[in-house]
Structure 1
Amino acid sequence: MNRELREFRRLERVCLEQAALSTLDLTRSGLLKVADDCRLAAEAIEAVPPPRGVIAVAVEALKVVLTQGRPRPH
């Protein structure tokens, strides 16, 4: 679980850094959304009790990220 958590945090940081350097609004917006999703995934991993398996935690984190606050395209 720590590895997944570190990876989501690393990806969040990279996306934020690249968004700060981006000169295109669309690119910056996309990077900020990905950074936000990575942050939500990391927070979801942190919120899950440790006894569960690593794969279950990662799946749960992705479920949370994919179902929170984003309207689904029709």
Structure 2
Amino acid sequence: MNRDLREFRRLERLCLEQAALSTMDLARTGLLKVADDCRAAAEAIEARSPPRGAFAGAVQALKRAPLAWRVGARS
């Protein structure tokens, strides 16, 4: 699971870097969408992993709180 998380984060960074370099709007938009999907997949993996302690659990809860707010704003 940790390996998958690292891979999704790496792909997210790669897509964001390539989007910044892209001169075509369609390519940039596609790369940004893929980066967003990779971020969502990585966050889902992080949410499934058990917290390592009370502090880690609080950090995970704080990470998820803004995400729920952003998702509601898109609707």
- In the alignment, what sits opposite 1:54? none
Superposed CA deviations along residues 33-67 of structure 1, whole A, max 9, x for unmatched, are 000000000000000044xxxxxxxxxxxxxxxxx
Superposed CA deviations along residues 11-52 of structure 1, whole A, max 9, x for unmatched, are 0000000000000000000000000000000000000044xx
- In the alignment, what sits opposite 2:22? 22
Residue identity (%): 84
Consecutive unaligned residues in structure 2, runs of 5 or more:
51-75
- CA root-mean-square deviation: 1.4
TM-score by length of 1: 0.66
Consecutive unaligned residues in structure 1, runs of 5 or more:
51-74
TM-score by length of 2: 0.65
Structure with bigger gyration radius? 2
Aligned counterparts of 2:29 and 2:2: Cα–Cα separation in 1:
28
